Amino acid sequence: MLLVDDHAVVRAGYRVLLGNAPEIEIVAEADSGETACREFVHAAPDVVVMDLSLPGMGGLEAIRRIVARDGGARVLVFSMHEDPVFVEQALAAGARGYVTKSSAPEALVEAIKTIAAGGIHVDPDIAQRLAFQKSRGRGTPMAALSTREFEIFCMLAEGLNVGEIARRLSLSYKTVANYATQIKSKLEVGTITELARLAIRHGIVKA
């Protein structure tokens, strides 16, 4: 498997944890979305365990690029984000599973095994919350955003400007500016400050 997380200490902890599962072997590691895409090509892992909060292009874009290159890629998101909207966006980008970092260690091992076997695994608690929201016809305003829009929304909320986002995602300035306009329209906010407040209110980014 390919392990993707920007914190070396965290990756070291995963190595110890997964070392107790002899059927799982870490063949490569990456600390950014760009490195993850390169290592996926070089190491050809059976499973990619991907954090979403990464420097550079970010986890969602990395998932999209990996799956675009290999439609059979098996990506498991392992993230601190527990809001169901992140699960929806990750699955829409092409991930096969989602586990939160607050889960028991055994949950990550079982999820990796499930994904490796061709299955799908979503953290049961989040899956239940997601199903409940949909049954009530509720959800966050961000659910209306496409995967690309959601990714740019998160970057804007974190304080990146249009030029910085364009460079990270290898898009033109005009394209990102157009996305920003669409995002504000869909979320019914007039400024980036209002957009950031919305993200904080829904726990998408920290204040």
Question: CA 3 → CA 39, 63, 72, 123, distances in Å?
Answer: 10, 13, 18, 19
Give span(s): CATH 1.10.10.10, the chain.
141-201
Task: Please count the other Cβ atoms lying within 10 Å of the Cβ belonging to residue 79.
Answer: 20
pLDDT level of residue 94 (50, 70, 90 thresholds): very high
Q: What percent of the chain has pLDDT over 70?
A: 96
Q: Which pLDDT does position 204 carry in this prediction? A: 81
Kindly report, as residue ranges, where domains of CATH 3.40.50.2300 are found in the chain.
2-135
Q: Which of 148, 147, 2, 21 is nearest to 70 (CA)?
A: 2
Cβ-proximal residues to 144 (8 Å cutoff; 6+ apart), any chain: 186, 187
Q: Which one, of 31, 27, 91, lies nearest residue 64 by Cα?
A: 91
Whether 121 and 76 have beta carbons less than 8 Å apart is answered as yes
Q: Residue 146's pLDDT is what?
A: 86
Paired with 99 in beta bridges are 78
Predicted local distance difference test score (pLDDT) of residue 138: 59
Whether residue 207 has pLDDT greater than 70:
no
Output the CA–CA distances (angstroms, integers) from residue 93 to 57, 66, 89, 147, 207, in the order listed: 14, 10, 6, 6, 26
Q: How confident is the model at residue 142 (pLDDT cuts 50, 70, 90)?
A: confident
Q: What's the CATH architecture for 2-135? A: 3-Layer(aba) Sandwich (3.40)
> What confidence tens digit (pLDDT) does each residue in 49-63 have?
999 988 888 899 999
Structure-model confidence comparison of residues 90 and 202, the more confident one: 90
Measured over the CA atoms of residue 117, residue 115, residue 147 and residue 128, the dihedral's sign is positive
Per-residue pLDDT tens over the stretch 149-193: 999 999 999 899 999 999 988 899 999 999 999 999 999 999 999
Query: Which tens digit of pLDDT belongs to each residue from 119-138?
Result: 999 988 888 877 776 666 55
| Average pLDDT of the residues of the chain | 90
CATH class of this structure's domain 141-201? mainly alpha
Name residues whose C-beta falls within 8 Å of residue 147's C-beta, 6 or more positions apart in sequence. Answer: 60, 64, 89, 92, 93
